[in-house]
Amino acid sequence: AAEGTLREAEENMRAEQGAFLPSLSGSFQAQRSQTSSAQLATFGSGSAGNVTVPPYTLYNASLSVSYAPDVFGGVRRQVESLAAQAEYQRYELEAAYLSLTANIVTSAVTEASLQAQIDDTHQVIAAERQVLGILKSQVNLGGAAQSSVLQEQATLASSEATLPPLQSQLAQTRNQLADYVGQFPGDFHAADFTLGGLHLPENVPVSLPSAIVAQRPDIAASAAQLHAASANLGVADANMLPQISLTADIGHEALTTGSLFTPQTLLWSLVGGITQPIFEGGQLAAKRKASLAALQVAGAQYQSTVISAFQNVADALQALQYDALTLQAAQTAKDAAAQSLKVTQNAYRLGAQPLTAVLTAQTTYQNAAIAQVKAEASRLTDTAALFQALGGGWWHRQDVSTQCCGIIP
């Protein structure tokens, strides 16, 4: 739909450009007539009752050229407005592409994160089931209290309850990916995404580059709207000034087709005119005021868009900074849990720790791994959000011409 709207705007601009050139038209007419005898008598041709005028056919072939010089720039400003509207639609299309790309990346990261969380949750549940089995055996042997079994059952049930929501979110994420690529969920088959297969870009911006932010599609689209509003004001000004028109006609007129193009049947005319609006009931002045108000609105919208864009980038940069701290803390917790698990396993081999201690340490490690997965996924998602906030680099695509934008060398 966005591509069709862009093509429509471009063709409207090309249509208006035709007003810069003269228009040429040709015509051919054959007219069958009967002249009144009384009419001839009026012009002194004799008595009306003694004159008989036979019917006749008049043939006319002519060319007409008309041209309205754009002296005060009304046509030029109208073309400028339509060109700006085409630019606006073009940037709207780029914004749609950018949003779609960011959504696909975010969904891929979400899928990888959910799959990793599901895998780790399965391991947590398996370890807790082993602990529960051991505790039940110890209760039967009188080595543990029934309360410990009940407590472990509650812990296991709590862990199992976290699994269905994760599986549901994973299915919904895959369905969303199918929608993004234009396929039905049942027909969509894509390779599973893993966090290990996703990597951060080598160069992640850590500051606020104003030149890059200015290339965001929404800012460029807002600038195009401002340009169109300015051009419309110029059109309103030109409509209040004189309009000049030139018309030239040349042709032949005869009673027979055989003599139609002889020198004696030649006729021509040349007309020049100028029209100055004098009284239009205040319409032209009101339209100019409306165009001026529209220009002021477009200027305010452009300013608001720019401010929101810089806020968006600043938020994304700050999110990345805190994501790095969160990921570092999660990684430290995971490393500590892994070391604790290793120590507990060694103690178990020496008989200094029961198996339940090993399984508990393993559960702690898996929970730390889940937290680390969430932190890593959050950092990847916020990185994608940052590149989207910076404009996404759409101008690097081979199928995009940037000469019209004036912002890319």
Better-predicted residue by pLDDT, 247 or 11 = 247
Average pLDDT, the chain: 84
User: In this prediction, what percent of the chain has a pLDDT beyond 70?
Assistant: 89
C-alpha closest to that of 132 among 146, 152, 159: 152
pLDDT mean over 102-123: 91
C-alpha closest to that of 231 among 295, 280, 161, 155: 295
pLDDT mean over 215-222: 89
Q: Provide the pLDDT confidence category of residue 203 given band limits of 50, 70 and 90.
A: low
In the predicted model, is pLDDT for residue 407 greater than 60?
A: no
Cβ contacts of 258-264, under 8 Å, gap ≥ 24: 260/59, 260/61, 261/61
In the predicted model, is pLDDT for residue 48 greater than 60?
A: no
SS3 159: helix
pLDDT mean over 275-303: 91
Q: Provide the pLDDT confidence category of residue 202 given band limits of 50, 70 and 90.
A: low
Lowest mean pLDDT among 65-69, 133-137, 154-158, 303-307: 133-137
Calculate helix-pair angle for 283-349, 355-389, nearest 10 degrees: 160
In the predicted model, is pLDDT for residue 12 greater than 90?
A: no
**Contacts with 55 (C-beta within 8 Å, 6 or more apart), sequence order:** 32, 33, 34
Q: Tens of pLDDT along 337-383?
A: 999 989 988 887 787 888 778 888 888 998 999 999 999 999 999 98
pLDDT mean over 196-211: 70
According to CATH, the topology of domain 80-230+305-394+402-409 is: Outer membrane efflux proteins (OEP) (1.20.1600)
CA atoms within 13 A on the CB side of 388: 21
